[in-house]
Amino acid sequence: MPKPDLRHLARPGDTITLRVTPRAGRNEIREEEGRLSVRVTAPPEDGKANAAVVKLLSKALGVPKSRLTLVRGATSRDKVFRVEE
């Protein structure tokens, strides 16, 4: 499966809503019905899954990890990130 090009979502100030599946078989991002779905192999313990999501999302967006801020959903599968300047 080709990696999705999400650079159009990397505008400063924009928010990105996604649904996370931890303990997945592989790390991947999919666009499904206009929503992002992120699967990570990391477990939802001690922020490991969130860190894996940030790493994967920053790579797909083409921005440094430091420009992504978790706004909502630190302990939920539904998360909202903001792209900082």
Rounded to the nearest angstrom, the gap between the alpha carbon of residue 41 and the centroid of all alpha carbons in its chain is 13
Burial class (CB within 10 angstroms; exposed 0-12, middle 13-18, buried 19+) of 42: buried
Residue 24 to residue 35: CA distance in whole angstroms: 18
Q: What domains are there in the chain, each with its CATH number?
A: 7-83 (3.30.1200.10)
Mean pLDDT of 4-29: 91
Structural element, H or E, at residue 50: helix 48-61
Q: What is the pLDDT of residue 7?
A: 85
From residue 78, alpha-carbon distances to 19, 48, 71 in Å are: 5, 16, 11
pLDDT band at 74 (very low <50, low <70, confident <90, very high): very high
3-class SS of residue 58: helix
- Taking the model in full, what pTM does it have? 0.90
Q: What is the pLDDT of residue 51?
A: 97
pLDDT tens, 48-69? 999 999 999 999 999 999 999 9
Q: What is the pLDDT of residue 3?
A: 66
